[in-house]
Amino acid sequence: MTVDEWLAILLPGITLDKGAVSALSNQCKRLYDLQAAADYGYESERLVALYVAANLAPITIEGLSASVRGMASRKEGKVAISYTASAQKAGWQGTDWGREFLDAMSDLSGGCIIVGHAD
């Protein structure tokens, strides 16, 4: 399955910006050793989709799912969102998708394998 197909499963009915998906997919592939994950038995495209969902979904669906960061307030009109302190601190890693991604990465050799760094 492709990253887009996995995203359709993880975020049904949500359309994500293709440029953002591409940029986050490339970032994930640069930062993490997905070949090691594949060798360990994980589907690398699913891991990339988890990473993308964790980074984009909190912005995209604004707390409409239990899988996104906790929200302290929300306003419909001109869209005002404020996250709880713990959600802000946790960032993308605090989403269900982020935790699942990081759990998979930590299975590899007992720790998260990072092969690059963020700019």
Predicted confidence at residue 63, as pLDDT, reads 45
* Domain annotation covers residue 104: yes
* Domain annotation covers residue 116: no
* Number of structural domains in the chain: 1
Q: Is the pTM of this model over 0.75?
A: no
Pair of tokens at residue 89: 């601190």
What whole-number distance in Å separates Cα of residue 18 and Cα of residue 72? 29
The residue that leads in pLDDT, 100 or 58, is: 100
* Domain annotation covers residue 119: no
Residue 28 near residue 20, CB atoms below 8 Å: no
pLDDT score of 100 more than 60: yes
How confident is residue 118, by pLDDT bands cut at 50, 70 and 90?
very low
Containing domain of residue 79, as a range? 3-110
* Domain annotation covers residue 52: yes
The per-residue pLDDT for range 46-95, each reduced to its tens digit, is: 999 999 998 887 554 444 443 344 444 545 555 554 555 555 556 778 78
pLDDT score of 109 more than 50: yes
